[in-house]
Amino acid sequence: MDLKWQNAEDIAIRLVEEHPHTDPLTVRFTDMHAWIVALPDFKDDPKKSNEKILESIQMAWHEEYQDSQS
């Protein structure tokens, strides 16, 4: 499945898989952006992200991270 910016939940799951011990709330948006566009199945324009999109992904990632820690 190709990931696009609107796939916040799917991106969050992949970020937990790639960075299982990283608390998403400690990651700068610039780093998170780089990690997302580096995902092998990410197929969207890197320039199409914005703060709102990254916040949405961060919150979804935080939920997935919390679930993985319990």
**CATH number of the domain to which 14 belongs:** 1.10.10.600
Residues 28 and 22 sit within 8 Å (Cβ to Cβ): no
The helix (H) or strand (E) run that includes residue 61 is helix 51-69
Asked if residue 15 belongs to a domain, the reply is yes
For residue 70, pLDDT over 90 is answered with no
Asked if residue 1 belongs to a domain, the reply is no
Average confidence (pLDDT) over 37-62: 98
For residue 21, pLDDT over 90 is answered with yes
Q: How many domains does the chain have?
A: 1
Least Cα distance to 23 among 67, 52, 70, 66 occurs for: 66
What is d(CA 69, CA 55) in angstroms, rounded to the nearest whole number?
21
Enclosing domain of residue 48:
8-69
For residue 32, pLDDT over 90 is answered with yes
What is d(CA 48, CA 5) in angstroms, rounded to the nearest whole number?
8
For residue 1, pLDDT over 90 is answered with no
Asked if residue 24 belongs to a domain, the reply is yes
56 residue type, one letter: S
